[in-house]
A and B are shown apart, each in its own frame.
Chain A
Amino acid sequence: MKSKRPAIPYLGWMLVFTIVPLVMVVYYAFTDSEGHFSVEPFINASVYSEVFLYSLLIALISTLICLVLAYPLAFSISRCSQRGQSLIIMLLMVPMWMNFILRIYAWVLILQNYGPLDMILNFFGIDVTLIGNSGAVIVGMVYEFLPFMILPLHTVMSKIDSSLIEAAQDLGCSGFYVFRKVILPLSVPGIISGITMVFVPTASTFLVAQYLGGTQFMIGDVIERIFQSDHNTGSAIAVVLMVVILGCLVFMNRFGDKEAVN
């Protein structure tokens, strides 16, 4: 029989750093500043529902763009030689070793008015504002979180045996049908974990919008700001965000299971 003893330190860790904080956040969300049970924080939080929906939309768009960019890339990486694969994956990881703020700040420099990109576009007579809008936020998000989409997709795809692709061709599949009937269904688990790994942080991230979004804040920024003065409302927003994300994930896993069976 397997001993459960080695799990004890981790269970302790989870209790102290996951369960207890979670309970505390939920406790704050349902109490007023005097510590009495109250739904007032949720009523206060409803002011930010527009920012909330905007954040989810930005997260959704960023996640979809990541998926569209990462999918073909992950597939072509997975068909490279073993050495080529490790090299490309490492190159994808290198930017992640740099500080998060620094990377976002780099985008500020690129996109700002009279910045390099703006100058080039001006040269061709295109006059647009590149920074301080949703587009800039999405660009920043996609840049930050693209590796988190590529890695799980690549892991799943590199496990697809090339003989399966050959078998599909052998049985009469042209290129498109090989993708539709074999590669896509077999990569569903990677798509799901990729979406999870990108959607969850993009929905709750902060700072990216502060630097790139001008006046357009995301819900993460709101939580950060409110929490400093009002624990209760901040916790309430955090709880709602958590429930919504959980709902999305449950829905997606259901969908994924069904796809895998088909």
Chain B
Amino acid sequence: MKQNSVVSLKDINFKYSNEVILNNINLDIYDKEFITLLGPSGCGKTTTLRIIAGFETPQSGEVYFEGEKVNDLPPYKRNVNTVFQKYALFPHLNVFDNVAFGLKLKKMSKKEIEQKVKQMLAIVDLKGYEKRSIANLSGGQQQRVAIARALVCDPKVVLLDEPLGALDLKLRKDMQIELKQLQQKTQKTFVYVTHDQEEALTMSDRVCVMNNGVIAQIGTPEDIYNEPANAFVADFIGEANIINGTMLDDCKVKLLGVELDCVDKGFDKNKPVDVVIRPEDIEVVAPDQAKLVGTVEDVIFKGVHFEISVKCNNCHWLIHSTVSQKIGDTIGMRIDPFNIHIMDKMFLNPTNDIITTVYNSDKENNTTTFLLEGTEVTIPDTYFEEGKKIKISLPPDALYIAGDGVGHLDELYIESVIWKGEHNEIILESDERKWIMQSDIDEQVATYVPICFDFGKAEISEVTDDEK
């Protein structure tokens, strides 16, 4: 570790009524840095912040503050202050008393308090607002009071929980810059929580991308954008074309039936991988000058660039270009090798495999029944003797969301939804394992759905004992 870490989280696990919220989080927060915890709703970023503040106690793992373990230290004894999501200003106090709240508890002289509050209000551009009641302030002004109230206590670390979420786009953009300047001016450590990737990239020294209770990647905004660790990060940060490919050899990848040069090495031969290409990294050329050729489907003017949608081998590509194209034209797409990012698949198996023992079966009706996470599932048109060990391989397209709400498995948690050019690749989590599903429909992550299996697409075979 080169820099001093102010806050360290070691192997943090947090459960809320049996649901895993944080799964083995390790994070070092350095002195005077602006670090952002970024992720979709339900990824555990706010819980992480609340653990640092002391409002939640992790079931296991340690929280260190400047090298000292603070797991059992109550919030009021920690040298951190929080800017809350909805500001949480005290409605019975005016602006001055809200900001002075923390100082009054520190037994400072009245004069000193007044001087500090005035100084802090000047920093957040609220000079002369001392006597105003909170109810008479605009959203942006309340925001500033909340920031002043936290900063005036002179904490080592300031925690900010989506503080700009309630503001309009324009005000939010202004406040982003102001917050960043404020952090540099006050030389404090800021830990910022947001689900807005642009906000994270604009303000942060480092970004910590979280998904489903784990840290997906930590790095500078440039690292996160240019070298995403997996398809989830690539998809969440900015726009990306994420396509299934196969690694043929070092620096050689095959996608959509075309061999392309890349710069990544060290993958196993013929290993399925995710290939990520940013839309601005694709160069439009004449069809005979590129290996990938497609038809222009749609062109949208976005101000700075055109967003061009191209269909190539059943796969939809997104291109950002300053030059417009005609719809229906055939174009070539050239990509420099260093702009092709290869990453391991998040779901290692290409199919969902179930190895189970036949629970009971019916020869007359030609059905086989097995137990899956406590419920009976019957496979039609298949007969295996009772007690036999069988392996069921369900490809991603054999899973579908139960339209009538009653599935073979209920309450599967949607962990990620990633557009793979042709269809969405959805990773689901049941009580005991993860599942991969293919769908043409967009689904909301962090929600629960019932799932059905289409055994017609499954491959079912008997497992002999020596195969085990």
- Asked if B55 is at the interface (CB within 8 A of a chain A CB), the reply is yes
Encoded as 1 (CB less than 8 Å from any A CB) or 0, chain B from 84 to 108 comes to 1110111110000000011001100
A182 to B91, CA, bound (A): 9
A166-B55, A166-B75 given; A171·B105 CB < 8 A:
yes
Asked if B92 and A260 sit within 8 Å, CB to CB, the answer is yes
Asked if B84 and A169 sit within 8 Å, CB to CB, the answer is no
Contacts of A239 in B (CB 8 A): none
Chain B nearest CB, measured from A3 CB (Å): 28
Which of A4-12, A58-66, A173-181 interfaces with chain B? A173-181
Chain B nearest CB, measured from A77 CB (Å): 21
Asked if A161 and B76 sit within 8 Å, CB to CB, the answer is no
A170-B53, A171-B101, A172-B102 given; A163·B76 CB < 8 A:
no
Asked if A163 and B84 sit within 8 Å, CB to CB, the answer is yes
- Asked if A167 is at the interface (CB within 8 A of a chain B CB), the reply is yes
Contact partner, B153, options A161, A166, A172, A174, Cβ 8 Å: A172
Q: Which residue of A lies closest to B133 (CB)?
A: A261
Asked if B86 and A163 sit within 8 Å, CB to CB, the answer is yes
Asked if B153 and A171 sit within 8 Å, CB to CB, the answer is yes
Encoded as 1 (CB less than 8 Å from any A CB) or 0, chain B from 254 to 274 comes to 000000000000000000000
Those of B30-82 within 8 Å (CB) of chain A? 53-55, 74-76, 80-82
Please indicate which of the listed interface residues B86, B91, B153 has the most CB atoms of chain A within 10 Å of its own CB: B91
Contacts of A173 in B (CB 8 A): 76, 105
Chain A nearest CB, measured from B161 CB (Å): 9
**Which size class do A's interface residues fall under?**
10 to 19
A172-B76, A173-B76 given; A166·B84 CB < 8 A:
yes
Contacts of B91 in A (CB 8 A): 186
Asked if B92 and A185 sit within 8 Å, CB to CB, the answer is yes
Contacts of B75 in A (CB 8 A): 166, 169-170
A172 to B108, CA, bound (A): 13
Contact partner, A170, options B81, B86, B106, Cβ 8 Å: B81
- Asked if B149 is at the interface (CB within 8 A of a chain A CB), the reply is yes
Contact partner, A161, options B88, B102, B106, B149, Cβ 8 Å: B88
Contacts of B88 in A (CB 8 A): 161, 163-164, 166-167
Contacts of A171 in B (CB 8 A): 76, 81, 101-102, 105, 149, 153
Q: Which residue of B lies closest to A188 (CB)?
A: B92
Encoded as 1 (CB less than 8 Å from any B CB) or 0, chain A from 157 to 169 comes to 0000101101111
A197 to B86, CA, bound (A): 34
A177 to B77, CA, bound (A): 13
Asked if B90 and A182 sit within 8 Å, CB to CB, the answer is yes
Asked if A186 and B82 sit within 8 Å, CB to CB, the answer is no
The secondary-structure label for the interface of chain A is helix
A167 to B91, CA, bound (A): 12
Chain B nearest CB, measured from A103 CB (Å): 38
Chain B nearest CB, measured from A239 CB (Å): 37
Contacts of A181 in B (CB 8 A): 101
Asked if A170 and B76 sit within 8 Å, CB to CB, the answer is yes
Q: Which residue of B lies closest to A181 (CB)?
A: B101
Q: Which residue of A lies closest to B104 (CB)?
A: A181
Contacts of B101 in A (CB 8 A): 168, 171, 181
A177-B105, A181-B101 given; A170·B92 CB < 8 A:
no
Q: Which residue of A lies closest to B82 (CB)?
A: A170
Contacts of B102 in A (CB 8 A): 171-172
Asked if B90 and A174 sit within 8 Å, CB to CB, the answer is no
Asked if B90 and A172 sit within 8 Å, CB to CB, the answer is no
Contact partner, A167, options B54, B82, B105, Cβ 8 Å: B82
Asked if A167 and B106 sit within 8 Å, CB to CB, the answer is no
Chain B nearest CB, measured from A86 CB (Å): 20
Contacts of A177 in B (CB 8 A): 105
A163 to B53, CA, bound (A): 13
Contacts of B106 in A (CB 8 A): 172
A185 to B97, CA, bound (A): 13
Chain B nearest CB, measured from A196 CB (Å): 20
Contacts of A168 in B (CB 8 A): 90, 101
Asked if B86 and A169 sit within 8 Å, CB to CB, the answer is no
Chain B nearest CB, measured from A176 CB (Å): 11
Please indicate which of the listed interface residues A168, A170, A172 has the most CB atoms of chain B within 10 Å of its own CB: A170
Q: Which residue of A lies closest to B152 (CB)?
A: A171
A24 to B92, CA, bound (A): 43
Contacts of A182 in B (CB 8 A): 90
Contacts of A172 in B (CB 8 A): 76, 102, 105-106, 153
A164-B90, A181-B101, A260-B92 given; A174·B76 CB < 8 A:
yes
Chain A nearest CB, measured from B55 CB (Å): 6
Contact partner, B90, options A166, A167, A169, A170, Cβ 8 Å: A167
Chain B nearest CB, measured from A93 CB (Å): 29
A164 to B88, CA, bound (A): 5
Q: Which residue of A lies closest to B55 (CB)?
A: A166
A170 to B90, CA, bound (A): 13
A163-B86, A177-B105 given; A169·B92 CB < 8 A:
no
Contact partner, B84, options A167, A174, A185, A186, Cβ 8 Å: A167
A172 to B90, CA, bound (A): 14
Those of A162-217 within 8 Å (CB) of chain B? 163-164, 166-174, 177, 181-182, 185-186
A11 to B190, CA, bound (A): 59
Chain B nearest CB, measured from A262 CB (Å): 8
A134 to B88, CA, bound (A): 46
Chain B nearest CB, measured from A187 CB (Å): 10
Contacts of B92 in A (CB 8 A): 185-186, 260
Q: Which residue of A lies closest to B86 (CB)?
A: A163
A173 to B90, CA, bound (A): 13
Chain B nearest CB, measured from A158 CB (Å): 15
Chain B nearest CB, measured from A165 CB (Å): 9
Contacts of B86 in A (CB 8 A): 161, 163
Q: Please name the 3 residue pairs, one residue from A and one from B, whose CB atoms are nearest each other, closest first.
A: A171-B102, A163-B88, A167-B88
Between A and B, 16 residue pairs with Cβ closer than 8 Å are A166-B84, A167-B82, A167-B89, A168-B101, A169-B55, A170-B53, A170-B75, A170-B82, A170-B150, A171-B76, A172-B106, A174-B76, A182-B90, A186-B91, A186-B92, A260-B92
With A166-B82, A181-B101, A182-B90 given, name 20 new contacts (CB 8 A): A163-B84, A164-B90, A166-B53, A166-B55, A166-B75, A167-B88, A167-B90, A169-B54, A169-B55, A170-B53, A170-B75, A170-B81, A170-B82, A171-B102, A171-B105, A171-B149, A172-B102, A174-B74, A186-B91, A260-B92
